[in-house]
Amino acid sequence: MGRGEERRGEEWRGEERRGEERRGGVGRRERANMSKIDKMSILGVRSFGIEDKDKQLISFFTPLTVLVGPNGAGKTTIIECLKYATSGELPPGSKGGAFVHDPKDAHETDVRAQIRLLFSDVNGEKVTIQRAMSCTQKAKNYSFKSLEQVITRTKDGEKQSMSSKCADVDREMISALGVSKSVLNNVIFCHQEESNWPLCEGKALKEKFDSIFAATKYIKALETMRQQRLAQNHTVKECEVELHYLKQNKEKAQQLRETMDTKEAHLMASKDSVEKIESQIDPLENRLIDIDTKFGKVMKLDNDIKALESRKTQMEEDNKELKDTMEQVFQGPDEQLQETYQNHQRTVKEKERRLTDCQKELERAGRECQRLNQLKGALLVEQGRLQLEADRHTQNIRNRDTQVRSLASFLEMEGYDRPPFTTLQLESFHRHVTQRLEQEKETASQVLADLQEKEQQKQQSIDEMRDKKTGLERTVELKRDLQGKKQQELRNIRAELQRLEGSSTRLQVLENELAKAERELQSSMQSSNVEELKVEVVELQREKAELDRTQRRLDTEMETLNIHTSTRTQMDMLKKEKTEKEDQVRKIKSRHSEDLVSLLGHFPNKKELEDWIYTKSKEINSTRDRLAKMNKDLASSEQNKSHIASELRKKEQQLSSDEEKFFNVCGSQDLEQDLGKLQDDLEKISKQRAMLAGATAVYTQFISQLTEEKEPCCPVCQRTFPSEPDLEEVISDMQSKLRLVPDKLKNTEQDLKRKERKKDEMMSLRPVRQSIVQFQEKELPELRNRLQTVNREIERLKGEVDEQETLLGTLMSEEETAKACLQDISLMDRYQIDLKGVERQITQHGTKLQGVDLTRTTQQVSQEKQETQHRLDTTSSKMELKRKLIQDQQDQIQMQKSAVNETKADKLQLSSDMQKQQQLEEQCVEFTTDIKDLTRDIREAKEQLSPLSAALEKLQQEKQELVERKRQKQEEGQEKINAIKERVKVITTLERDITKYVDESKNEYKEQKESELQETNTQLHDAEKQKEKISKEIGNIRQDIDTQKVQERWLQDNLTFEEACGGVEGCCGQT
C-alpha cells in the first residue's frame, strides 16, 4: 500500500511539473508577442465634457507612461476608462450612472459618453475598440444604458468592423490583448478602492488567485486525466473479461464448424438418393397424365349427350307453347312462307324509309322554326333596348333645355327662356357663360385684393405698436433685475457690517487666549520625559529577546518528547485497528455467505464475483434490448392503430358530411336525373324570359300602330275592326298586359338565377358523389380490415412483453443481490490489504522505539515553558505601556502647538476685517441712492405701458374683423363660381349623350330592326304551316306501319314454329 501511494505521488508531481512547463512556455510566447496600448480618446466620462471640442486624446509611451497630477485631476478616471475599454467592467459603486458626465451639469436630459482605444494586439496588428454609453435623467434617479460596442481591425489596408450584435466583444478583447479578464481587473487596471484585495478573507482571496493563475482549469484538467485513466483501466478489465468469453465462443464455433461439415456430407448423400427416386417417378407421372386425358374426353361426351337430350325436351315444350299461341298455322310449303315474309319485309322497310325521311323533314322544319323564334326573340329584345335608348335621348334633350333655361335665369341672361334651342343658341350660351364665369372670378379676386391690402396695413400698425410695447417691457424688466441685484448686495454689505461691529472686543479676547496657550505649551515641553521613556523601552526589548530565545529552546525540547510519545500512541492505535479490521472481514463473510453460495455455488473473491455480474449484465442488457424492441413495436402498433382509427373516424365524418350535403342540395341520390329535370326547367324559363323581353317592344309598337293610323287593322292578321269599341277593347287589353310584363319579367329572371345557382351547386356535387362511392366501396372497408389486423398484432406483442418483463425482473433481482454483495466483497479485499499495511507499520514503529532514553517528562518541560511565557507577556505589557506614554506626551504637545497657530490666524483675520469696515459703509450709501433712482424709472415706464396695451388690443380686433370679412367674401365668390361650373358640367354631359346618339344613327338602326322583325314573323308563319303538314303525313305512315307489324308477327311465329320442328329432328339425329 505504501509503494502504491508513493507511485501515485510521483505521478501527481510529474503532472504538476509538466503543467508548470506548459505555463512557462505560454508565458515565454506571450512575452515574445506582447500587446501594447497606443492611444485613447475620452468624451462625456465623469468631468470630461460632452461636446466634440471637449474630447481628450491621450497617447501612451513605451515601455512606461506616468500619470502625474493633484487630487481631482482625472488620473483615476483614465485608469477606469482603460479598464472599461479593455474588459467592459464599470468602476465599483458607480452602477454606470456616476461614471457618465452628470446630465445636470451639462443641462441635458440625456448624455452620451464614448471611449475609443487604439492598441496593437498579440499579432502586432492595429485594433480599435469603441464603447458607447448613455445616462438619462429621470424624475428621481438616473438611467444608465450601454450602447453599441464596435471592434475595428486593419488588414491589408482595409478596415473590418465587428459589432457587439454579432460577437462577444469582451471575449474578443481578451483574445487580442493576450491577458485574462481577471488579470486586467485585479492586477493591471485595479481600481484604487479595490487595491486592498490581497488583505481580504481566505476564501475570497483564494478565488482571486485561482482566477488570476487559472488554477481551477489546471485542477480540472488533472481531474479529467485521472478520470480518463480510471475509465481506461476499467475498460481494460472489461475487455479482459470479454476476451475470456470470446475465446470460449471461438472454441465453440470451431466445434460447430466441424459439426456443420459432417451434416453437409450427410446432406449430399441424401440429395443423390432423392435424384435417383425422382428419375423413377417421371415415367409414372407421364402415364398418369395420359389416363387423365382419356378420362376427361369420356366425361365430356357424356355431358354433351345429356345437354342434347335436355335441349330436345325444352324445344318440344317451346313448340307446343308456340302452336297454342298461334291463331292460324300457315298452310303451304316453307318456300312460299319464306317468300311471303320477305315481300312483307320489303313493304315495311319502304314505309319505314318514308317515315325516316318525313321525320328528318320535320326536324329541319322544327330547327327552322326554333331558329326563327330565337331570331324573333333577339329582335324583340333589341327593339326594346333601342326604344329605351330613344326615350332616354328625348329625356336628355328636355333635361338639357331645362338646365340651360335655369342657368340663364340664374345668371340673368336674356334670350334663353323658350326651348327647344338650336345649335347656334347653345354655342352662344356656352360662350356667354364662359365670359360671365371669368367676370365673376375677376370680381372676387379684386375684392380679396382690397381686403388683403387693408389687412397688411393693420398688421403693420400692430407690429409697430407691439415693438414699442416690448421695448418698454424689456426696460422695466432689466431695471427690475438691476434693482434686485443692488438690494441683494446692500443686504450682504449690511450683514457684513453687523458682523464687524464686535471685532475690536473679539480681537482683545484672542490676544489673551494666545498668551495663555503659549504659556501652557512652554510648561508642557519643560515637564516632558520622552527621552527617559525611550531608554527604558530599549532595555525592555533586550529582555524580551532573551526570553524569546529561551521559549524557542523549550519548544524544540517539547517537540522531541512529543515525537516519541506519538510513536507509542500510534503503535497502540495500529494494534487496535488490526483487531477491528479482522472483525470486519469475519462479519462480511458471515453476512453474504448464504446468498453468494446459492448464486455461484461457492464463496467467490472479487474478480469471480465481477465476472459473474458481467455475464448477468450482458444477459440483462440483451433481455432489455429485446423488451425495448418489443415495446417499440408495440408503441408503433398502438400509434398505427390510433392513426388508422383517427383516419377511419375522419373518413366516416367526411362521408356523413358529404351525404348530408348531397341530400340537402338534391333531395335524392339520383344526381343525373335531377340535373336533367333542372336543365329542362332552365330552357323553359329562358324561352319565357326572351318572350317577355320582346313583349314590351311588340305591345308598344302594336298600341302605337292602332292609335296613330287612321284606319287601324289587327297587327297580326291584318283584319280591320268592325267597330270603335272593339278597337278600344283590344288597345285596353294590350295596355293591361304591357303593365304586367315588367313584373313577370323580373320574377322570371329571379327564378332563372335561382335555378342556375342550384344547377351550379348540383354540378359541384359530382366530385362529392364520386367521393361517397369511393368511401363506401373501397376506403372504409380497407381501413376496418387494417384496424383488425393491427389489434391482433397488439395482443400478440403484449403477451410477449409480459413474458420478457417477468424474465427481466428475475435476472435483475439476482444481479442486485450480487451487486449488493460486491461492495462488501471489495471492502473485504481492501480490509485484507490494509491489514498487511498495518502489520508492516507496527514492525517499523517497534524499530524506532528501540534504544530511546527519556530523561525529562513532558509535564516538566510544559511547566517551565509556561513560566517563561508569563515573563515574556509581562515584559511585552511594560514595553507597550512605555510606548503609549511617549505617544500621549507627543500628541499633547502637538495639539497645543496647533491651538497657538489657529489663534494667531484668527487674530490676523480680524485685523484685516476692521480695515474693510469704512469701505463697506460707503458702498451701502451708494447702493441706497441707486435703488431709489431705479424705482422711479420703473414706475414711469409702467405708466407709459397702459395706453399702449389698449391701443394694441383695439388694432388686433380690427384686423380680426377684416380677416373674417375677407374669408366670407372668398367663400361667397367661390360658392357662386362652383355652382356655375357644376351646372355647366351637367349641361355638357347631357349634350355629349345627345351628340353620341345622333352620331351613331340609332334612330335609323331602330327602324331597320322593326322591318327585320316583321319579315321574321312572316317566315315563321310559313315554317309552322309546313311543319303541320309534315306531322299529318307522319301520322298516316305510322298507322300503316302498325297494321303491317301485326301481319309480320304472325309470319314470324310460323317461321319460328317450322325452325323448332327442324331442331327437334336434328337433336334426335345427334343422339
Q: Is the pLDDT of residue 65 over 50?
A: yes
Residues 19 and 80 placed together within one structural domain of the fold = no
Distance (Å) of CA 441 to CA 104, 438, 466, 965, 979: 61, 5, 37, 18, 13
Angle at 140 between CA 138 and CA 145, to 5 degrees: 40
Residues 686 and 691: their CA atoms lie apart, in Å, by 9
Distance CA 348, CA 355 (A): 10
Pairing of strands 142-155, 126-137: antiparallel
Instruction: Quote the pLDDT of residue 913.
Output: 66
Strand partners, 155: 158
Buried-state track 374-406, b at ≥16 Cβ within 10 A, e below 16 = ebbbbbbbbbbebbebeeebeebbebbbebbbe
As a residue count, the chain comes to: 1071
User: pLDDT-based confidence at 158, cuts 50/70/90?
Assistant: confident
Please tell me the total count of domains within the chain.
4
Tell me which of 760, 775, 790 is where a domain ends: 775
Flag whether pLDDT at 117 surpasses 90.
yes
Q: Give the amino acid at 969.
A: K
Whole-angstrom distance, CA of residue 644 vs CA of residue 650? 10
Say how far apart CA 323 and CA 305 lie, in whole Å. 27
Q: What percentage of residues in the chain have a pLDDT greater than 90?
A: 2
Is 132 a member of any domain? yes
CA angle (256, 262, 267) in 5-degree steps: 120
Residues 21 and 142 in one domain: no
Q: What is the pLDDT of residue 568?
A: 61
For residue 4, pLDDT over 60 is answered with no
Q: What are phi and psi of 70, to 5 degrees?
A: -70, 180
In a domain, 560, yes or no: no
Within a domain: residue 959? no
Q: Is 409 left (phi over 0), alpha (psi -120 to 50) or beta?
A: alpha
Look-up: residue for cell 458682523?
Answer: 499
Task: Find out whether the peptide bond into 604 is cis, omega within 30 degrees of 0.
Answer: no
How far does the chain reach from its first CA to its final CA, in angstroms? 118
Q: For residues 625-639, give the mean pLDDT.
A: 80
Which CATH number do you get for residue 58? 3.40.50.300
Q: Which of 627, 632, 630 is nearest to 809 (CA)?
A: 627
Q: C-alpha angle 367/370/371, rounded to 5°?
A: 85
The answer to whether residues 64 and 209 belong to one domain is: yes
pLDDT digits (tens, 9 = 90+) for 786-829: 778 888 888 888 888 888 777 777 777 777 777 777 777 777 77
In this predicted structure, the answer to whether residue 377 has a pLDDT above a threshold of 70 is yes
Mean pLDDT for 469-489 is: 79
- pLDDT at 367 exceeding the cut of 50: yes
b/e map 613-645, b = 16+ CB within 10 Å: bbebeeebeebeeebeebeebbeebeebbeebe
For residues 224 and 230, give the distance between their C-alpha atoms in angstroms, rounded to a whole number.
10
Find the helix packing angle between 334-410 and 1002-1070, rounded to 10°.
160
Q: Identify whether residues 2 and 137 lie together within a single domain.
A: no
Contacts of 147 (CB under 8 A, 6+ apart): 112, 132, 133, 134
Please, what's the b/e burial string for 931-959 (b: 16 or more CB within 10 A of its CB; e: otherwise)? eeebeeebeebeeeeeebeeebeebeeeb
Q: Identify the band that residue 699 occupies on the pLDDT scale cut at 50, 70 and 90.
A: low
Q: On the CB side of 696, how many CA atoms lie within 13 Å of its CA?
A: 21
CATH of the domain at 677: 1.10.287.510
Looking at the DSSP bridge assignments, the partners of residue 118 are 39, 128
- Residue partners of 997: CB distance under 8 A and separation at least 6: 389, 393, 396
DSSP per position, 406-448: HHHHHTT-SS-SSSS--HHHHHHHHHHHHHHHHHHHHHHHHHH
Q: Are residues 144 and 182 in the same domain?
A: yes
pLDDT of the residue at 700: 73
* Closest CA relative to residue 526, chosen from 883, 886, 893: 893
- Same domain for 42 and 5, yes or no, is no
> Which of 497, 498, 506 shows the shortest CA–CA distance to 906?
506
| Residue 132 confidence (pLDDT) above 80 | yes
Whether the pLDDT of residue 318 is over 60: the answer is yes
Spatial CA neighbour of 486 closest among 916, 932, 937: 932
In a domain, 317, yes or no: no
- The verdict on 43 and 21 lying in the same domain is no
Cα-based angle 688, 689, 690 (whole degrees, multiple of 5): 90
| Bond prior to 420 in cis (omega within 30° of 0) | yes
Range ranked top by mean pLDDT from 225-229, 626-630, 811-815: 225-229
Bridge partners (DSSP) of residue 112 are 134
| Residue 735 and residue 672 share a domain | yes
Cβ contacts of 244 within 8 Å, gap of 6 or more: 611
Phi and psi, residue 29, nearest 5°: -65, -40
Q: What's the pLDDT at 491?
A: 79
User: Which residue type is seen at 655?
Assistant: L
Q: What are phi and psi of 48, to 5 degrees?
A: -75, 130
Query: Which three cell numbers mark 825?
Result: 466483497
> Per residue in 757-786, is it b (16+ CB within 10 Å) or e — as a string?
ebbeebeebeebbebbeebeeebeeebeeb
Residues 18 and 102 in one domain: no
Kindly write down the DSSP assignment for every residue of 330-386, as one continuous string. --S-HHHHHHHHHHHHHHHHHHHHHHHHHHHHHHHHHHHHHHHHHHHHHHHHHHHHH
C-alpha atoms less than 13 angstroms from C-alpha of 652 in its C-beta half-sphere:
10
Which of the two residues, 566 and 234, has the higher pLDDT score? 234
Mean pLDDT for the stretch of residues 361-374: 80
**What pTM does this model have?**
0.27
In this predicted structure, what is the pLDDT of residue 9? 41
Rounded Cα distance between 831 and 588, Å, is 11
Distance from C-alpha of 315 to C-alpha of 1070, rounded to nearest angstrom: 15
Residue ranges for the known binding site are 714, 717
Reduced to 3 states (helix: H, G, I; strand: E, B; else coil), residue 49 is: coil
pLDDT reported for residue 130:
92
Is 378 within the bounds of a domain? yes
Q: What does the alpha-carbon distance between residue 152 and residue 163 come to, in Å, rounded to a whole number?
A: 9
Distance CA 364, CA 2 (A): 128
Alpha-carbon torsion (249, 251, 254, 256), positive or negative: negative
Cα dihedral 746, 750, 756, 759, rounded to 10, equals -140
Structural domain includes residue 614: no
Give residue 39's pLDDT band: very low, low, confident or very high (50, 70, 90): very high
Average pLDDT, whole number, for the chain? 75
What whole-number percentage of the chain has pLDDT above 70? 78
Q: Which residues pair with 689 in a beta bridge?
A: none
Question: Can you give the pLDDT at residue 15?
Answer: 40
From 118-132, 399-413, 695-709, 1024-1038, the region with the lowest mean pLDDT? 695-709
Domain assignment present for residue 590? The answer is no
| Residue 315, pLDDT above cutoff 70 | no
Tell me which of 834 and 714 has the higher pLDDT.
834
Does 940 fall in a domain? no
Query: Ranked by mean pLDDT, which of 555-569, 954-968, 1039-1053 comes out on top?
Result: 954-968
Q: Which band of pLDDT confidence, cut at 50, 70 and 90, is reported for residue 671?
A: low
Which of 244-253, 395-404, 422-431, 890-899 reaches the highest mean pLDDT? 244-253
Confidence bin at 768 (pLDDT 50/70/90)? low
d(CA 111, CA 906): 46
Which of residues 171, 196, 213 is at a domain's end? 213
Higher per-residue pLDDT: 235 or 181? 235
Q: Are 70 and 149 found together in one domain?
A: yes
Q: Whole-angstrom Cα distance, residue 205 to residue 199?
A: 8
Give the residue carrying C-alpha cell 471611449: 115
* Selected residue with higher pLDDT from 1067 and 1026: 1026
692 and 721 housed in the same domain? yes
Confidence band (pLDDT; 50, 70, 90) for 18? very low
Annotated binding-site residue numbers for Zn(2+)? 714, 717
pLDDT at residue 780 tops 90 = no
69 and 15 in a single domain? The answer is no
Whether 630 shows a pLDDT value over 60: the answer reads yes
Domain boundary pick from 188, 213, 238: 213
Q: Please, which pLDDT band fits residue 336 given cuts at 50, 70 and 90? A: low
Cell numbers standing for residue 38: 497606443
126-137 vs 36-43, strand pairing mode: unpaired
Give the domain range for residue 359: 334-409+1001-1063
Helix axes 724-764, 671-708, angle to 10 degrees: 160
